[in-house]
Amino acid sequence: MTSALSRLYCGPLEQLTPPLVSSTLPEDALPADQLLDANVIEERLERLAAQHQGNDIKAIASIWSQWHFAAVVVPALAANLLLERDLPVTLDEMAIQSDEHGCTRRLVLPHEGTPLPSLDAFQRFETLFQGHVSPLIEMLSCLSGASPRLFWSNFGNYFEYFANNAELHPMALPGVADEALRLVDHRVYPDGRRNPLFMPVRYLENETGERHRTRRLCCLRYRLDDCEYCGNCPLEATASTRAAKRAAVVQKFAPRREAPTNSTTDETCLAASGN
């Protein structure tokens, strides 16, 4: 790895695996544009499904995308925000190395990137979005039947988290992530296009006034027998809020008997699953 990128892997990034920068493709690396081949993705999802002993294709595809986007977001945003460099992360430029379960564990890049063409929130991430995230999400959605919103939510969860914590890095200047956070706060682009990264998470207050980071859409991992709800699950947050409200009503009107309520499927789960 060259010196420009190696400087990033200190402080909160010290324990993470940096991308491999090499003009030669390692034997175990897969050109990333092959991820647009349905057979390639299916084989990786099958390996991951075997690990989880589950066959819910939407949940498996969601988990695979989380592993992949985690491997992509950290180096791409670190270079973008801290070095103002655009890494070569389009699918036809880079490659990936995977673990035994078919999940992406490391990026292989041909070079250390170029200066950003623009520092504006709606332009500086376009290489990543249009050249990598958008076409991959289209493939995952088509293959699994899950809504594209599910996969954008998975990506946005990591994007927002990294941006919100970027100032903890020793190389960060004040306001280093302002443009990234401005992006997730806008529903549409200046040209009128819908912004798929709009508000991927919300910060909700519980009954004690504590703020809790909650995803807007459920990632569906709970549909696998060996997975529980994640710590940011909107389904659990909604259930907790409803329970607190019911408890408040019961206390307010006790000993009045509470009428039975009908359970409904949370809209966040429906939106993610595409049902």
- Structure-block tokens of residue 209: 């006034």
> In this structure, is residue 85 part of a structural domain?
yes
Indicate if the pLDDT at residue 262 is higher than 50.
Answer: no
- Structure-block tokens of residue 146: 């899950």
Q: Write out the E strands in 80-196.
A: 85-86, 95-98, 104-109, 114-115
The DSSP bridge partners found for residue 29 are 97
pLDDT at 238: 54
CATH number at residue 177: 1.10.510
Which residues contact residue 15 at a Cβ distance below 8 angstroms, ignoring those fewer than 6 apart? none
> In this structure, is residue 66 part of a structural domain?
yes
> In this structure, is residue 259 part of a structural domain?
no
pLDDT at 274: 58
pLDDT at 230: 78
Nearest to 57 by CA among 274, 215, 265, 216: 274
> In this structure, is residue 267 part of a structural domain?
no
> In this structure, is residue 47 part of a structural domain?
yes
Which residues contact residue 87 at a Cβ distance below 8 angstroms, ignoring those fewer than 6 apart? 19, 75, 76, 79, 80, 109, 112, 113, 127, 128
Tally the C-alpha atoms within 13 A of residue 155's C-alpha that lie toward its C-beta.
25
pLDDT at 237: 56
> In this structure, is residue 44 part of a structural domain?
yes
Query: pLDDT tens digits for 204-236?
Result: 887 777 888 888 889 888 888 887 787 788 887
Indicate if the pLDDT at residue 272 is higher than 50.
Answer: yes
pLDDT at 253: 43
Place of tokens 């390639």: 40
Domain count, the chain: 1
Query: pLDDT tens digits for 235-260?
Result: 875 544 444 444 444 454 444 434 44
Full residue range of the structural domain in which residue 140 is found = 4-200
pLDDT at 135: 99
What is the mean predicted confidence (pLDDT) over 59-87? 97
Indicate if the pLDDT at residue 186 is higher than 90.
Answer: yes
pLDDT at 54: 78
Which residues contact residue 261 at a Cβ distance below 8 angstroms, ignoring those fewer than 6 apart? 246
Read off the amino acid at residue 129: F
Which residues contact residue 124 at a Cβ distance below 8 angstroms, ignoring those fewer than 6 apart? 80, 86, 116, 117, 118, 179
> In this structure, is residue 256 part of a structural domain?
no
Which residues contact residue 249 at a Cβ distance below 8 angstroms, ignoring those fewer than 6 apart? 258
> In this structure, is residue 274 part of a structural domain?
no
